[in-house]
Amino acid sequence: MEAILESANIDYETADCHPGLPIEKGPHGRGVGRWVPEEKHRYLKRYLDATREAQKKFKQRVLIDPFCGPGRIQVEGENFTREGGSVMAYQQSVHSGAPFTRVLVGDIDQERVRANELRLASVGAPVAAFTGPANETVDAMIKAVPFGALTLAYIDPYNLEHLSFSIIERLAKLEHVDFAVHFSLMDLTRNIDMELDPKRDRFDHALPGWRARVPTDALSKASLPGWFFTAWCNAVEALGFKVSGQMPLITDGKGRSIYRLVFFSRHPLPDRIWNDIARSRNLDLF
Ligand SMILES: C[S@@+](CC[C@H](N)C(=O)[O-])C[C@H]1O[C@@H](n2cnc3c(N)ncnc32)[C@H](O)[C@@H]1O
């Protein structure tokens, strides 16, 4: 397969077998930020590589990506496209010798999920595709997980509004499941103030009942986002998970925090491995 070598980070990208299909260009259509391949995807790659021996102990290894996009990304300012998250993750799992035995992808946009399915199939992935809001497709995805499988749930919505806590709660019922969640800090920081208005509900799915619990008397406006994020982590821990101490902060290059990558698991080993890889800022893999 044709490879485009990128001198900066000794990475490789395979050519797109479906160049006519949709490409992820970010919520504004200008291309995604460099942090998508350089941080978001790279942490996932490193995690998959570092856990390969543990993964091999499971006969069935499943990736669940309910906000999958089209499987191909265009980085702002680049004149070529790169693999999207699910395709990159599947290829990394093959490269590391512990290929996913099922890749379950979903998206609200039918064309995108179809594009992702075709791109995954073209690299040999055992893919099943689900069209619809993640909040609805997740039940069918859970049913498609074989008993006893090790599952990695990669939850990557554009904003907090779609990070429904119920998605996490339902996935948490799987016996062996780890989570890598892309938590939008920009949405939280910009909008939490407005969302205190009980007539609004954009964050109510992400953390049900949050508004009634905010200690508004004791908190300044500036500390509201931090309070919300901590309360969300506590809610995850109440499901029996350990939220990793290392939560890489993604910034937009202009000093603004845009996302945190939050990893959580029930088992100490994946938590330790995530902490090790996320602690290091040197993300070069190969
Ligand atoms: C950040 S992009 C996904 C990028 C992809 N995970 C990757 O790493 O290449 C978010 C995707 O979520 C989809 N989306 C938006 N709202 C959704 C919803 N409620 N349920 C499922 N997908 C949704 C969008 O169509 C978009 O493709």
Q: What is the pLDDT of residues 144-157, one digit of tens each?
A: 999 999 999 999 99
**Per-residue pLDDT at 131:** 98
**E strands of the chain, at which residues?**
3-6, 11-14, 61-65, 72-74, 81-83, 102-107, 127-131, 150-155, 176-184, 242-243, 249-251, 257-265
- Listed as own residue / partner, the contacts of 193-198 with beta carbons closer than 8 Å and 24 or more positions apart are 193/221, 193/224, 196/224
User: What are the extents of the domains in the chain?
Assistant: 3-279
Q: How far apart are CA 239 and CA 241, in angstroms?
A: 6
Residue 254 has pLDDT above 50, yes or no: yes
Task: Give the ligand 1 atom nearest the CA of 68.
Answer: 6
* Mean pLDDT, residues 57-79: 97
pTM of the predicted protein model: 0.93
Closest C-alpha to ligand 1, atom 2: 69
Q: How far apart are CA 225 and CA 230, in angstroms?
A: 9
Q: How far apart are CA 162 and CA 165, in angstroms?
A: 9
List Cβ neighbours of 57 (8 Å cut-off, separation of 6 or more). Answer: none
Residue 138 · residue 170 · CB < 8 Å: yes
How far CA 197 is from CA of 57, 164, 202, 204, in Å, comes to: 49, 19, 10, 11
**Per-residue pLDDT at 12:** 52
Confidence of residue 11 (pLDDT cuts 50, 70, 90): low
As for ligand 1, residues whose beta carbon falls within 6 Å of it are 24, 65-69, 73, 84-85, 107-109, 112, 133-134, 156-158, 162
CATH 3.40.350.10 for domain 3-279:
no
Closest C-alpha to ligand 1, atom 26: 69
